[in-house]
Amino acid sequence: MGAESRRCGYVAIVGRPNVGKSTLLNHLLGQKISITSRKPQTTRHRVLGIKTEADHQIIFVDTPGLHRDAHKAINRYMNRAASAAIRDVDLVVFVVDRTAWTEEDAMVLEQVKQGGLPCLLAVNKVDLLEDKASLLPHLQMLAAKADFAAILPVSALRQHNVAELEREILKFLPQSDHFFPEEQITDRSQRFLAAEIVREKIMRQLGEEIPYAIAVEIEEFALDGDVLHISALIFVERKGQKKILVGDGGSRLRSIGTDARRDMELLFDSKVMLRLWVKVKSGWSDDERALRSLGYDDV
């Protein structure tokens, strides 16, 4: 196939926390690489998802949600990661949640406008709208806010209009050779993905009790025969959080480990032996040096 017919470009998926950006990315890719939960700010890092089909390659950039309350070092890190992504792409997909419009949505839109890039607006979770008649006037209100290249109601979870969104994205890919091998689906290492899976299971099981005070570090990632041995150290900020995370007689930690191992075996296509430990590291989320040691240094 001639190079002149090949297209390749970067597409940032942006929005405030908890609008469904990671779910949308996973469904666009047809494979899970970004963790999801019902809790805002689940995504902390920029993650590339690479989709190659025939003559085109789309490099999606999943970003942390832009948010106003950036009082801790980790929140400032997430805002920097999201803002940087908007500057370095060919197209922005701005995701909002149904008929809600908040100050944080307005803040994201301002960042998008400053970037001066073409922008598709994806109005997500429309399957959850009780009053369908409220959608059209809301879309008209949104259209007046900016010169969007297109506005699409979607449901990332139900895959409603996701294929149509991808068709719109293809219109903005520049002519270019592909940047990544066609079999590559992310720029992240298997160690990173393993740590994110553990963090997802904790967020899903303990989101109320331990909202954001956890980080995961992979200490061992080694294939022995046909078994992948993974050891993960989970950091919390207080002793009380460790007690909640471990659970009675270790029951909660075992449950998290079982769920994480199941996902890892699917992702890595291997039998996994997973060991989890919990350690108190006071104040890690507001300590720039601690954050760098935990991998928050890629902005």
CA angle 41/104/33 to nearest 5° reads: 30
pLDDT at 199 (0 to 100): 86
Least confident among 7-16, 56-65, 81-90, 127-136: 81-90
**Which of 3.30.300.20, 3.40.50.620, 3.40.50.300, 3.30.450.40 is the CATH number of 190-293?**
3.30.300.20
Which residues, in sequence order, are bridge partners of residue 288? none
Q: How far apart are CA 229 and CA 62, in angstroms?
A: 28
Choose from 13-17, 58-62, 145-149 the range with maximum mean pLDDT. Answer: 145-149
Where do the domains of the chain lie?
3-170, 190-293
Residues contacting 146, CB < 8 A, separation 6+:
109, 112, 113, 119, 121
Region for residue 41 given its phi and psi (left: phi exceeds 0; alpha: psi -120 to 50; beta: otherwise): left
Helix, strand, coil share (%) of the chain residues, nearest 5: 40, 25, 35
Indicate whether 189 pLDDT > 90.
no
pTM value is: 0.75
User: CATH code for 3-170?
Assistant: 3.40.50.300
Candidates 85, 76, 79, 81; CA nearest to 285 is: 76
What's the average model confidence in pLDDT over 279-286? 75
pLDDT tens per residue across span 215-271: 888 999 999 999 999 999 998 888 888 999 999 999 999 999 999 999 999 888 899
CA angle 128/18/138 to nearest 5° reads: 50
Q: What does residue 238 show for φ and ψ, rounded to 5 degrees?
A: -140, 155
Q: Which residues of 3-18 are buried (b: 16+ CB within 10 A; e: fewer)?
A: eeebbbbbbbbbbbbb
More confident residue, 215 or 1: 215
pLDDT tens per residue across span 133-176: 889 999 999 999 999 999 999 998 888 999 999 999 999 999 99
What's the average model confidence in pLDDT over 124-136? 88
pLDDT tens per residue across span 258-275: 999 999 998 888 999 999
Q: How far apart are CA 193 and CA 214, in angstroms?
A: 16
Indicate whether 99 pLDDT > 60.
yes
Domains 3-170 and 190-293 are alike in CATH topology: no
Query: Are 57 and 63 spatial neighbours (Cβ–Cβ below 8 Å)?
Result: no
Q: How far apart are CA 151 and CA 154, in angstroms?
A: 10
**Mean per-residue pLDDT over the chain, rounded:** 84
Query: Are 276 and 234 spatial neighbours (Cβ–Cβ below 8 Å)?
Result: yes
Indicate whether 79 pLDDT > 90.
no
